[in-house]
Structure 1
Amino acid sequence: MRWLDWYGDGSLVVVEVGLACCALEVEAAALDVAPTVGEFSEGSTVVVVVSGTVTDRLAPAVIAIVDAAEQLGRRRPKVVSFGACATSGGPYWDSYAVLKGIDQLVAVDAYVPGCPPPPEALQAVLDSIAKRSAA
């Protein structure tokens, strides 16, 4: 699990769960973001970004990551479904082994559509979450 201090001030910490090709777009959005080392403050908003195809076998790991983020952040993290595969199963929707969206596992706060979505779309969603959390 990799933690990213998105703005460099501890206000928004992103946990990236990159499972397939959309993870490359998340990486592109995070080019100037340094990984977080150590603790972050209790006031930090924690965001879990899930990108890529979630299979039935991966589902418990995704739930465990969201649960771990909740324990570390001391409140439920915001969850972002990034891309068509994480949102609806993408082109693999009709496979018996593919989840039809992570909202079947966890509550999702924001969806970023696309296959793949551009990095700017993730930045816009994170800016929106940060703005709502600061209010």
Structure 2
Amino acid sequence: MRLPPPKQARRLIDPSAFKESPFIVLSLALFFAFIGLYFPFFYLPTFFTSYLHSNENIAFYSIAILNAASVFGRITPGLLADRFGSLNTIIPISLIATILAFAWIGIRNEAGTIVFAIIYGYASGAIVSLPPDYRR
């Protein structure tokens, strides 16, 4: 049994949403947050080769290391969120990711950068997998 077709065709984009300031603020905040979140994913190999003058192999594997840590970061914080709530879990992890992004400035060797990639990968995976439910 099918549902009857809608009486009026819906638009793909609802322009009335852009007149609500909370929606605009949320959209801009998420846009800039995710640009900042994914910056290390794109710049990490270049950092290895250009700044640290490292082997191209380690630069290539840096993204794999970051993504592997992201897998664990997507799973384990979800278990914490079941107990403490999504927002109560994502806020400290976002703070950790922010501190790590600024701490990256002081890293001067390969080992430190690999440790950064592991911890940042974990935190970024948690941020991606724990968006709060805005419908409440």
* TM-score tier after normalising by the smaller chain length: under 0.3
TM-score in terms of structure 2 length: 0.25
More strand per residue: 1
More helix per residue: 2
Radius of gyration: which is bigger?
2
